[in-house]
C-alpha cells in the first residue's frame, strides 16, 4: 500500500462527491457512498442511514432551482487500516434559493456558511467510498436574496 | 514516471497560473501556457488560439484597477500518457471593478461566480504547460460595487 | 527522504494551524509553531518574534465573539533542505465582529480579504513546524455587519 496514493484517491472521491452535488449528478453521487453509509450533516441534524436515504435527502434539498456551492479545503486524511480511513475537511458553502420556500430555506434567500466535516472512508472492491459523513458548523447565516441585474445559472434558466 | 509527482507538478502549474493572473505577473502567466494552447473561458465565449492571444486577452481583462480573486479547488487530475494529462477544477472567482466600464464589466461592479474548469496539459522539455483550458459556469452574478469605508488593494492605490 | 511525503506533512501542518485559529484551539495552535518562529501578518504590520508572542497576538485578535474563516489554497511548497522548506499559499479570509470595537476591527463589522502567504518551515524531532509566516494583501475590505434573521455560530451563543 502506498499511503499517498490512497490519500489522493480519497481526496478525489470527496471532490467527485461534491461535483455531483453541485452539478446535480445523482447517479455519480450515489456511487460515492458505501451502501451502508451514515450521515450527520449540519451538526447531526440531518442524520440518515444507508446510501439511498442519504442521496434521496440530498437530492430533495438540492434539486429544483437551487444553486449551490460546496467547496472543501484543508484535507487532513489519515489511514486507519489498509481499507479504512478518516479525514477532516473545511467546508465553505453557499445556497441560493431564488424560488419558493423549501424544507431548509425560506423563499428567495441565500445561505452562507462554514463547517468542519468529519468523514470515514472504506475501500471495497478496490474503490474508496464514503462510509460516514457529517459536519459541525462554524457559522451559518441566511439572508434575503435580492436578484441582481446579471444572474445566470446552469439551472435557473435565465 | 511517478504519477503522484506528475500530478503535484500539474497542480503547482495551475496555482502558478492563477497567482500570475491575480498578481498581474504577465511573463509568469505566459510561461504556464504551451505556445499552441487554446482557451474556452466562460462556457466557450472567450475562445482564443495560441499563448499570445490568450495572455493578451487575460491581460486586457485584468489589468488597470481591477481586483480579482481566482481560486481553484477539488483537482481531479488524470494522466492520459506520460506527457499528457487532463483535469477538472472547481473555480470560485470574484472581480471588483471600481472604475469605468470594461469589456466584460459595468462601471463600479462586482462579479461573483463559480465554474468547473476542464483543462488539458502537456509536458515538453520536462515542464508541464497548459495546452487547453476553459470552464463551464455553475452560476455568475454581477452587482453594483459600493465601496466600503475600508478598501485597500495592491493596485487601486488607496 | 520522500519529497511528496514531506510536502503532504507540511500541507497538513498548515491546515492544522488554521483549524486551530478558526476553532480557537490555542494549545493546538502553539504546537504548529517553532519556538523561535517569526510572523509578518498583514504585509508586515503584525510582526512578532517567538511562538508565545505570535500565539498571544492571534488569540487576542480571534477570541471573544469573533467568527473567523481563514482558508488557504494553491500550495506551492518546495523543500530547501531535508529539514527546511518554504511555501506560498493563497488566503481567503473573513472576520465577523458582531460585538464592540476590537484592536483590528470596528464594532459590528465584517472583513473580507485575500492575500498571499510566504511561509518557511523547519523539521525538528521529526515534526514540521512553522518557522516564519506572513502575508501580503491582494485586497481587503471592511463593511458594517448587519445581522441577518438567521445567524448561528459556534461562539456567538445565538
- Nearest chain A residue to C21 by CA: give it: A138
- Nearest chain B residue to A9 by CA: give it: B76
Supply the pLDDT for residue A63: 78
Cell of A93: 458553502
Give the distance from residue B41's alpha carbon to the nearest chain A alpha carbon, in angstroms: 15
The answer to whether B69 contacts C141, with C-beta atoms less than 8 Å apart, is: no
Domain count, chain C: 1
Closest Cβ–Cβ partner in C4, C74, C136 for B18 = C74
The answer to whether A154 contacts B139, with C-beta atoms less than 8 Å apart, is: yes
More confident residue, C53 or B62: C53
Assigned domain for C51 exists? yes
CA distance B130 to B133: 7
Assigned domain for A9 exists? yes
Q: What is the mean pLDDT of each run of 10 residues along chain A (158 residues)?
A: 94 97 95 96 86 93 85 98 98 93 89 97 98 96 93 71
Residues of chain B with pLDDT under 50: 157-158
Assigned domain for B103 exists? yes
Give Rg (Cα) of chain C. 16
| Nearest of A98, A94, A92 to residue A152 by alpha carbon | A98
- Nearest chain B residue to A19 by CA: give it: B90
Closest Cβ–Cβ partner in C4, C69, C148 for A142 = C148
- Nearest chain A residue to B142 by CA: give it: A150
Assigned domain for B153 exists? no
The DSSP code for B82 is T
Quick check: A102 and A86 in contact, CB under 8 A?
Answer: no
Neighbours of chain C (3+ CB pairs under 8 A): A, B
Which of B72, B141, B143, B144 to mutate to test binding with chain A, by most A CBs within 10 Å of its CB? B141
Percent residues over pLDDT 70 in chain C: 98
Percent residues over pLDDT 90 in chain C: 78
CA distance A157 to A151: 10
- Cα-Cα-Cα-Cα torsion A67, B87, B119, B123, nearest 10 degrees, comes to 160
| Nearest of A146, A154, A158 to residue A22 by alpha carbon | A154
| Nearest of B114, B54, B116, B56 to residue B86 by alpha carbon | B116
User: In chain B, how long is the greatest CA-to-CA distance?
Assistant: 53
Quick check: C47 and C38 in contact, CB under 8 A?
Answer: yes
Supply the pLDDT for residue B51: 97
Supply the pLDDT for residue A157: 43
Cell of C17: 494551524
- Cα-Cα-Cα-Cα torsion A106, A112, A115, A119, nearest 10 degrees, comes to 70
The answer to whether A71 contacts B92, with C-beta atoms less than 8 Å apart, is: yes
Angle CA A95–A99–A103, to nearest 5: 65
Closest Cβ–Cβ partner in A67, A149, A150 for B138 = A67
Q: What is the CATH number of the domain that holds B91?
A: 3.10.450.50
pLDDT for C53 beyond 60: yes
Quick check: C57 and C69 in contact, CB under 8 A?
Answer: no
Residues of A with CB under 8 A from a CB of B: 4-5, 8, 12, 14-16, 18-19, 22-23, 67, 69, 71-73, 96, 148-154, 156
pLDDT for C137 beyond 70: yes
Assigned domain for A149 exists? no
Neighbours of chain A (3+ CB pairs under 8 A): B, C
Instruction: Quote the domain boundaries for residue B94.
Output: 3-144
* β partners of residue A68: A95
Assigned domain for B49 exists? yes
Give the count of beta carbons closer than 10 Å to the beta carbon of residue C150: 15
Cell of A83: 481499507
Assigned domain for A153 exists? no
CA distance A23 to A25: 6
Three-state SS at A152: strand
Assigned domain for C149 exists? no
Cell of A13: 472521491
- Cα-Cα-Cα-Cα torsion B119, B122, B128, B133, nearest 10 degrees, comes to -20
Angle CA B68–B73–B77, to nearest 5: 125
Supply the pLDDT for residue C11: 98
Cell of A23: 452539478
Which of C22, C24, C95, C98 to mutate to test binding with chain A, by most A CBs within 10 Å of its CB? C22
Give the distance from residue A68's alpha carbon to the nearest chain B alpha carbon, in angstroms: 8
* Average pLDDT over chain C, rounded to an integer: 93
The DSSP code for B42 is H
Q: How far lies B98's CA from each of B57, B135, C109, in Å?
A: 20, 25, 21
| Nearest of C19, B12, B121, C79 to residue A118 by alpha carbon | C19
Closest Cβ–Cβ partner in C5, C73, C154 for A138 = C154
Give the distance from residue C75's alpha carbon to the nearest chain A alpha carbon, in angstroms: 11
Exposed, middle or buried, C62 (CB in 10 Å: 0-12/13-18/19+)? buried
Contact pairs from chain A to chain C, CB under 8 Å: 63
Give the count of beta carbons closer than 10 Å to the beta carbon of residue C18: 22
Amino acid at each position: 500500500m502506498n499511503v499517498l496514493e490512497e490519500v489522493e484517491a480519497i481526496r478525489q472521491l470527496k471532490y467527485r462527491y461534491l461535483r455531483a452535488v453541485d452539478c446535480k449528478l445523482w447517479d455519480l453521487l450515489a456511487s460515492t457512498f458505501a451502501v451502508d453509509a451514515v450521515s450527520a450533516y449540519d451538526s447531526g441534524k440531518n442524520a440518515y442511514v444507508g446510501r439511498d436515504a442519504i442521496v434521496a435527502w440530498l437530492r430533495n434539498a438540492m434539486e429544483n432551482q437551487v444553486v449551490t456551492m460546496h467547496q472543501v479545503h484543508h484535507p487532513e486524511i489519515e489511514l486507519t487500516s489498509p481499507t479504512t480511513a478518516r479525514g477532516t475537511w473545511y467546508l465553505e458553502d453557499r445556497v441560493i434559493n431564488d424560488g419558493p420556500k423549501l424544507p431548509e430555506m425560506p423563499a428567495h434567500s441565500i445561505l452562507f456558511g462554514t463547517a468542519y466535516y468529519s468523514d470515514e472512508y472504506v475501500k471495497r472492491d478496490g474503490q474508496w467510498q464514503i462510509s460516514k459523513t457529517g459536519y459541525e458548523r462554524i457559522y451559518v447565516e441566511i439572508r434575503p436574496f435580492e436578484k441582481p441585474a446579471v444572474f445566470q445559472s446552469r439551472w435557473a434558466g435565465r
